[in-house]
Chain A
């Protein structure tokens, strides 16, 4: 069970939120020029990080606003929360095998 610190509402239970997957994936600037492999990379390929992951959440059953988390996917510790459009904060790197 996660206790997620919504930047607008404060700490709330995980069940109030929906998951948006990896953050900072930029839509290709020139989609006409992309090869199939580049499209596949944009649409499907993900780092699926074991360790710190920058990810998007939305407070569906609260303020309904999107924000980002820097969360450790092994310990589930939430290291930082930041708003959409903000730069990801520096978070100590983890090293799991």
Chain B
């Protein structure tokens, strides 16, 4: 059992100059076989492993990660957490995730710095306003906290926003989810890794999966850089590379992988204490605890696996941010990067069984995977353990593209797909 983190362990370790902290998780060599092998050591995969062990008592589990933990989209997102989705199915799933966020730090004994600072979505024209008020009403019917603000209330909530009438992007109002906010994204991966490891899960890094052994329609093993690992069940959780692995397993998916871009500025004194998002102009901004502005931009319009993002996308977003917040005009940007997101035609995820027995898929989160990390892991663990979906993810079956029961969340997804 891993030593508990507390004020006492902090003081005790301070006495030895913080040189004797135990490692947060082991790095074992893979065993020959496991009950469940999870492919992908990001937040979703690690959360799945944790809930498999905690809720379903399945501890003979390995998480295989191609690179390092949280080095993919878990470490590349803009850390925004909210649950104000339009349709009943999505609201239930994301709200379940938000409730898990609220107790995550205590549950994992790891401070994920979840800060419910409030998330605003701006309306720039009458149509935006109607769409957003529709969403507020839908949210409230589903028990998701949501408010509609007028322009004056927007200014009160976020005083540095420019609301002069001659702005390029006039702000007519906004939605506000006060329980939304941000979390430290690396800590989410590390916290889940440490907690899962303590329950007996093997976390194996630098171990890319190169193929599957499938016989009689059932998955038998995964081929990896560290040899063949037999598995009763295999769970894919690899975001942008979902369709690459699906192809190895022999089925097709309706996803497009595109780079989604983000950037951070130089650190400054506290200036922005909420999250401001605008669907219409593809910009979302918050300030990290280090003081950097964390800015999310749009996706490239073409399929790409290069984790960079195109310059015109950066320019468009920064131009919009400078319009909304003229005081940011002279700030310098420090880093820019891209993460490969797998977008579905209806902007909703797939958490589902597959045509291959014993092989499960969790992907298609598109631009909104981070906020759902705990909920995604929770329902996915249930799907794997019971071999059937939980009521919360029944509607997110991959068969919906055949039945036509799509869950169109393009409006709530914040980034155009």
Chain A positions within 8 Å of B, measured between CB atoms, are 1-2, 14-15, 18-19, 21, 36-37, 39-41, 43-50, 53, 55, 71, 73-76, 96-97
Contacts and interface: CB of A to CB of B under 8 A. Distances in A.
Nearest to B252: A45
Contacts of A47: 243, 247, 252
A75 B307 CA distance: 10
A48 B257 contact: yes
Contact of B210 (A1, A39, A76, A97): A97
A40 B402 contact: yes
B302 A1 contact: no
B312 A50 contact: no
A15 to B, nearest CB: 5
A48 B240 CA distance: 10
Interface string B320-358: 000000000000000000000010010000000000000
B71 to A, nearest CB: 16
Can you list the 4 inter-chain pairs with the closest CB atoms, starting with the nearest? A44-B254, A48-B243, A45-B252, A40-B402
Interface residues of B, number: 28
Nearest to B243: A48
A29 B306 CA distance: 36
A48 B304 contact: no
Given A19-B302, A74-B305, A1 B311 contact: yes
Interface string B218-250: 000000000000000000000001011001000
A96 B302 CA distance: 18
Nearest to B309: A1
B403 A36 contact: yes
Interface of B: 208-210, 241, 243-244, 247, 252-257, 301-306, 310-312, 342, 345, 401-404
B345 A44 contact: yes
A44 B401 contact: yes
B306 A76 contact: yes
A87 to B, nearest CB: 22
B310 A1 contact: yes
Contacts of A2: 302, 310
A17 to B, nearest CB: 9
Given A48-B244, A50-B257, 18 more contacts: A1-B310, A1-B312, A2-B310, A14-B312, A18-B301, A19-B302, A44-B345, A45-B252, A45-B253, A46-B255, A46-B256, A48-B255, A50-B244, A50-B305, A73-B304, A76-B304, A97-B208, A97-B210
6 contacts: A1-B311, A14-B312, A49-B303, A55-B303, A76-B304, A97-B210
Given A36-B403, A37-B402, A40-B402, A46 B252 contact: yes
Contacts of B255: 46, 48
B199 to A, nearest CB: 30
A53 B244 CA distance: 13
A75 B241 CA distance: 16
Contacts of A71: 302
A73 B210 CA distance: 19
A96 B305 contact: yes
Max chain B C-beta neighbours (<10 A), residue from A14, A39, A75: A14
Contact of B306 (A15, A41, A43, A74): A74
A48 B403 contact: no
A21 B208 CA distance: 28
A40 B355 CA distance: 15
Contact of A48 (B209, B303, B310): B303
Contacts of B304: 73-74, 76
A9 B306 CA distance: 27
Nearest to B66: A97
